[in-house]
Chain A
Amino acid sequence: MLKRVTVILRDIWDVLAAEVRRVFSDKTTIVIFFLATVVYPPLYYYIYHLEALHEMPVAVVDLSHSDASKRFVHKLDATPELTVAYRCASMAEAGRLLSDHNVKAVFLLPRDYGACLAQDKTAHVTCFCDISSFIYYKNALMGGSDVMLDEMHCIELQHQSTEGVTGEQAEVQVQPIAYDDVKLFNPTGGYASYFIPALLLLVVHQTLFFGICVLCGDANENRRALRLIPPHLRRRSIHRVTLGRLLCFLLIYFPIALFDLWIMPRLFGLPQLGSIADILLFLLPFIVATACFAMTFGNLFSRQRMSTLLCGLFFSVILFFLSGLVWPQSNMPRFWLALSYLFPSTPGIQGFVRISSMGATLAEVRGEYLALWIQAAAYFATACLSLRMIKLFKRK
């Protein structure tokens, strides 16, 4: 019995050692595994580290020239989101500025703005904005409505005081129900805190996938796929080959993943509420599932070294959308939701973002965790089967 175990361990060790040698002797896998995972995270962080667009230039067309309208414009200028770059005499002038991209939004205060307020009627402010990026739209909307709310509050308090109601009583009349808003997990609504954790996980997923596919493609292209399987393991013990390779990728990728997903966010000062133990436990099935998924895919479809990069790269964009971080999972068509769970990146991103950014424990992401283990088991089986298929195919 003991002898049998030693033989198994020895076989696995041999495959592992051979695979490690293969990874380190291939320039392309070194670029993908070690360069991409080290360069991408700081680069993306640097791109997004300002978090939000501040002081977006806007133009104002104030046709009313009243005290109230001037106050509105001053307040617009004072918001962190907007800065009044141009004051225009006519809408035509402002429209030109907008269409030449000198400003991202135009606020129009109509001729009767001051008069309406004086007569207790609703005054209408119109905002035209550039929507080529949703952030422009969001800034115009947020800045505009903050000023509107503040102005409304002031005006209503004035009304109250003309009626002789002042102080706390006036406040209550104006705001009979108040609300405080608490933005959880990403208090500034920043882009880096939202985007980077998911992006880092996708980087780990994609580099591991493409690296393994390059190795498989290389083996298939040079007709070495069969030679790489030790002869005595080709029959019923083929799972030892898969296990040995898997261990090799685990050994390489656990430190990489830890660096990208735990050390990097700390260095960048991104929200990280999860415990290291939870992250480690979560990463284990994620890496196993991704590696086995990549081995299955690579064995079956990577005919040449570079073919997977050529045909599969565009899928990175789709995987990101399938993960449900941008378009919420609750609003995805059922078919795409089901399809998204074929890829380890979906439960990976969902689970990791919740652990890392939202402080969830493993118990709170148990659905995703279970999905990853199921994927890991299923893809391990398919990885073994696909190796066997190479063997059968070659024998013919």
Chain B
Amino acid sequence: MIRVAYRELRRMLMKPRYPIILTLGVAFSFIFFATMTEEGQPQELPVGVVDLDGTYLSRRLCHELDATPAVHVKAVFQNHTEARQAMQRGEVFAFYEIPAGTYNEVLQFRSPHFVLYTNQSYLLAGSLSYRQLATMGKLAAGAVQREVLRKKGVDEAKIMGLIQPIALETHPVGNATGNYQVYLMTTLIPGIIALMAMLHTAYVIGRERQERTVRNWMRKAGGDALKAFLGKMAPYTFHYTGLLVVAEIIMYGPMHFPMGGSWLLLALLSLLLVVAAQCAGCFLMGCIPDPSVAMSLTSAYGTLAFTMCGFSFPVDAMPLAMQAFSLMFPLRHYFLAMRDVTLFGNGLGVCWPQVATLVAFGLLLLVGAWMFNRQYERGTAC
């Protein structure tokens, strides 16, 4: 096995093009997500106002809206059509329509109706701007109520309790500010590295078939396909686990991502993720004799992992068959266990099922090696 690993290391260093490109790819992805989502949550989202009222009240609402950090009033429109078109052009994510005569109606106690339009085709931007605009609507109503209560002579201390009898405070566990960067990077970066580890392992096995060097490779392993596969995987296991651990050190260290649990457990999970992904790659490569077809199927399986790990759309909301299907993706198990360790500070006591499942991916390697061995003995492995 060590001889195979040594042979692979030499092959890798003789033609270092792909390891270098892929390492740069990891660095690029890291920098990309780190700089792209630097704000944590999108700030100053462009919104609009259709001001048909044109009074002191409507203008003040515009100003107050503009003064909040979450949104900024990009345009004041003359009519509804203009605003809708701006939304279709992607210039604003939401707009308020303030009907004519609003101020008069407020003065006459006739409860005017604003209409708040949000574009839900952009889920994040749409719901964030909705939240801000809806809050402003509440505040505007609250301001009027306060004035009325003051005029009635209600005690200033009591007014707040009358206007807002209940307050709801939300505390997301582990990620108190709802930082989007933490949420994205902690899953996507390991996902990208696992994808690369899987493809790279599959690729080098495929190359042996294409270059018709399988015999030489198997001879080094003493004719044992399992040893041949393990030796082949080893250099990449080190390479990609190393990359992942470095990425995690940067994220949970200098970038101050929440880290409630044990570093050692996280490192173990990273190792298991990389190995499990490699095993899946070996399985597909071992079973399918045509290396290019195997490689494209590995790619298809690899890209699905980002969906099936359930970090964007939770697995509990998927149909039952898909919930079962999600178990076939190492990233899913890593994601569950990583959340336990970093956000909840749990230990092995809670996340052992995930660790065990990741270890069980080793079975795929056994099957893959067995299939490969059969092809080799028949002489169809090239």
Contact = CB atoms under 8 A, between A and B. Distances in A.
A318 interface: yes
Interface in B130-148: 130, 134, 137, 140-141, 144-145, 148
Interface string A91-104: 00000001110000
Contact of A357 (B112, B121, B299): B121
Contacts of A264: none
B117 A182 contact: yes
A306 B116 contact: no
Nearest to A315: B25
B38 interface: yes
Interface string B143-172: 011001000000000101111111111111
A331 B43 contact: yes
A189 B120 contact: yes
Contact of B111 (A152, A178, A186, A359): A178
A125 B141 contact: no
Contacts of B96: 179
Interface string B14-41: 0000100110010011001101111100
A279 B242 CA distance: 46
Nearest to B204: A310
A173 B163 CA distance: 10
B118 interface: yes
B301 to A, nearest CB: 11
A131 B296 contact: no
Interface stretch (A135-143, A237-245, A252-260, A385-393): A135-143
A267 B180 CA distance: 34
A167 interface: no
Contacts of B313: 47-48, 133, 135, 191, 195
A177 B106 contact: yes
B89 interface: yes
B295 interface: yes
A156 to B, nearest CB: 7
Interface stretch (B221-229, B249-257, B339-347): B339-347
A24 interface: no
Contact of A333 (B35, B191, B335): B35
**Most A CB atoms within 10 A — which of B46, B173, B304?**
B173
Interface stretch (A10-18, A287-295, A321-329, A375-383): A321-329
A309 B295 contact: yes
B97 to A, nearest CB: 9
Contacts of A54: 317
A360 B200 contact: no
B246 interface: no
B318 interface: yes
A360 B36 contact: no
B48 to A, nearest CB: 13
Contacts of A231: none
Nearest to B318: A47
Contact of B344 (A99, A140, A152, A177): A99
Given A31-B297, A132-B311, A317 B306 contact: yes
A134 B164 CA distance: 27
B359 interface: no
A79 interface: no
Given A127-B168, A152-B164, A176-B109, A46 B319 contact: yes
Contact of B162 (A159, A175, A178, A311): A159
Contacts of A306: 203, 206, 291-292, 295
B167 A122 contact: yes
A326 B191 CA distance: 18
B148 A129 contact: no
Contacts of B292: 27-28, 214, 305-306
Contacts of B43: 331
Given A130-B173, A133-B312, A364-B89, A181 B118 contact: yes
Interface string B27-63: 0110011011111001111100000000000000000
B302 interface: yes
Contacts of A145: 168
A191 B121 contact: no
A314 B319 contact: no
Contacts of A67: none
Contacts of A127: 168-171
B166 A151 contact: yes
Contacts of A329: 90
Given A99-B344, A127-B171, A178 B293 contact: no
**Most A CB atoms within 10 A — which of B119, B137, B170, B319?**
B170
Nearest to B349: A100
Contacts of A174: 145
B240 interface: no
B166 A350 contact: no
Interface in B276-321: 290-293, 295-297, 299-300, 302-304, 306-308, 310-314, 316-319, 321
Nearest to A131: B172
A177 B112 contact: yes
A53 B317 contact: yes
A394 interface: no
Given A137-B178, A189-B127, A307-B18, A333 B36 contact: yes
A85 interface: no
Interface string B182-208: 010000100110011001100100100
A313 interface: yes
B42 A327 contact: yes
A131 B344 CA distance: 10
A184 B119 contact: yes
Contacts of B39: 331
A365 B322 CA distance: 36
A244 B299 CA distance: 29
A181 B134 contact: yes
**Most B CB atoms within 10 A — which of A43, A120, A127, A310?**
A310
A23 to B, nearest CB: 14
B357 interface: no
Contact of A129 (B28, B170, B308): B170
Given A135-B314, A179-B113, A313-B302, A27 B293 contact: yes
A28 B300 CA distance: 12
Given A126-B169, A126-B171, A177-B106, A184 B87 contact: yes
Cβ-closest 9 pairs across A and B: A131-B172, A186-B120, A176-B144, A179-B114, A28-B292, A53-B317, A360-B88, A132-B339, A179-B137
12 contacts: A98-B344, A134-B312, A137-B172, A176-B109, A177-B137, A180-B116, A189-B126, A214-B292, A313-B199, A321-B32, A333-B36, A336-B32
Given A183-B130, A307-B203, 19 more contacts: A36-B296, A53-B316, A98-B344, A124-B166, A126-B169, A132-B339, A133-B310, A159-B162, A176-B109, A177-B140, A179-B134, A180-B114, A195-B123, A313-B199, A314-B25, A318-B32, A331-B45, A358-B119, A364-B85
